Amino acid sequence: MNSSVTQIDAIEYFRGQLAAMAYVSSSDGHEVHILRIRNAFERAGILHKFRYSLNILNLLREVQTLSGGYFFPTPLRYVPLGGQAIIVGPTPTRELQRHFYGVTRMGHARVIAQSDAKGLPIQELDNWLGLHVQDSVAWSEAQVAEAENGMGTTISPRNVQYFRMGTARSTLGEINIPVWADTPLSSMQLKGVSVCRERLGRDCYRYFFGRVKGERLVAESSTPLEVARLCSGFAALMGRPITVMIDSRNTESVIYAPASLPRPERQLILALGSRDMSLTGKAYRVTDDSYVFQISARLKRLGCEVRKING
């Protein structure tokens, strides 16, 4: 593969292809079939980056998925972020820079001073993130209370695992990490309720709330909502919040998360940063440390314990 191909920014390429294919006029557009964009990626020699690019633009809500494999570019707007703003929409960055002063790429998103985003529609941050839970710990407690009242008898399924917290060593001592164990733990039950999962296949699970007697599952209730959010809140309720570490050096930070994050929190981190695959575990690099406060605040709302290194 030649250097000109390896230097193609797949995210920007997807934005450019979608914007061009959807264009009808300055005020109108039409849907684009996924195969047209896929074919463009194949011609450019970067087909292996197609699915990832699509997932990122979906995560950032820059494209709207329609039925039948069609996509439509979402309207250009900005999301306020502490004096700065995230510009949302699949317009290529170079095109944005022609019309708005100071647009820069930050992670997978584009940012600008809020004062320079005048004229664009506004979408509030939590609305853009799809975040409807203000306090994940209180929300998790309410989920457990509802489950407690809705328990029904069950025949204990095979391959059941129980959510609990474990520990791992780090440069700052022991940190709390989530684990799934084959046996229940009374200290990881709230009002006698455990968070459980049944393995249905490779990397496929059915999640549910369960009541345990001894080491045997005797009752269960409905599938919990937002499992990743629930586990974070549940851990905090047990006094063992999941530990997220932030290593700040010079002007950038690396965020280490020991578990998968709910979509809204992951969306914010990948808007302002990117996965660092050179590091073990789930690590995200944010090249401008001024945005770390916004990320940290939402991780705390999630119920996580946030520890900072070097800053």
Domain layout of the chain by residue ranges? 3-73, 77-123, 136-225, 243-309
**Which of 86-90, 160-164, 173-177, 227-231 comes out lowest in average pLDDT?**
173-177
Q: What average pLDDT does the structure give for the chain?
A: 90
Choose between 119 and 86: higher pLDDT. 86
Tokens of 296: 């940290």
pLDDT band for position 277 (50/70/90)? confident
pLDDT given at position 62: 97
pLDDT given at position 6: 53
Choose between 30 and 128: higher pLDDT. 128
Contacts of 156 (CB under 8 A, 6+ apart): 216, 217, 218
Name the pTM for this structure: 0.90
The DSSP call for residue 101 is: T
Specify whether the CB–CB gap between 16 and 94 falls below 8 A. no
pLDDT band for position 41 (50/70/90)? very high
Tokens of 215: 């080491």
Give the angle 103-109-112 at the CA atoms, nearest 5°. Answer: 25
| Residue range 220-275, pLDDT digits in tens | 988 888 999 999 999 999 999 999 999 988 888 999 998 889 999 999 999 999 99
Nearest in space to 58 (alpha carbons), one of 291, 297, 266: 266
* Spatial distance between the Cα atoms of 134 and 131, rounded to a whole number of angstroms: 8
pLDDT given at position 110: 97
How many residues comprise the chain? 311
pLDDT band for position 116 (50/70/90)? very high
Please classify residue 286 by burial: count the beta carbons closer than 10 Å to its beta carbon, then call 0-12 exposed, 13-18 middle and 19+ buried. Answer: buried
pLDDT band for position 5 (50/70/90)? very low
Contacts of 290 (CB under 8 A, 6+ apart): 84
Specify whether the CB–CB gap between 272 and 109 falls below 8 A. yes
* CATH 3.40.50.300, applies to 243-309: no
